[in-house]
């Protein structure tokens, strides 16, 4: 469940920033297919990846995780 919500939040943040999966992957030095797997809830990110993603998406890791937590608690 958490992995799926993380992916949903990741996609929402990426869309809000008007960044393609390809560009996000480039900014984070990750593979585009890995971004896709994260968004679909098929992979779990490491803490390092969360920090890279947050920076590329103009947010903080704590704000990113807070959004995930809020979604899990039905408050988003």
Please name each of the domains of the chain with its CATH number. 2-72 (1.10.260.40)
Distant-in-sequence, close-in-space partners of 44: CB < 8 Å, separation ≥ 6: 3, 6
> What does the alpha-carbon distance between residue 74 and residue 76 come to, in Å, rounded to a whole number?
6
Rg (CA), the chain: 11
Give the burial string for 21-45 (b: 16+ CB within 10 Å, else e): beebbeebebeeebbeebbebebeb
14-66: pLDDT as tens digits: 999 999 999 999 999 999 999 999 999 999 999 999 999 999 999 999 999 99
pTM equals 0.93
**pLDDT surpasses 80 at 75:** no
- 7 vs 44: CA distance, rounded Å: 9
């Amino acid at each position: 469940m958490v992995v799926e919500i993380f992916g949903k939040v990741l996609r929402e943040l990426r869309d809000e920033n008007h960044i393609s999966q390809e560009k996000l992957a480039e900014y984070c030095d990750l593979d585009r297919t890995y971004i896709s797997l994260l968004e679909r809830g098929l992979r779990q990110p490491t803490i390092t990846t969360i920090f890279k993603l947050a920076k590329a998406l103009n947010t903080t890791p704590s704000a990113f995780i807070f959004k995930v937590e809020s979604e899990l608690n039905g408050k988003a």
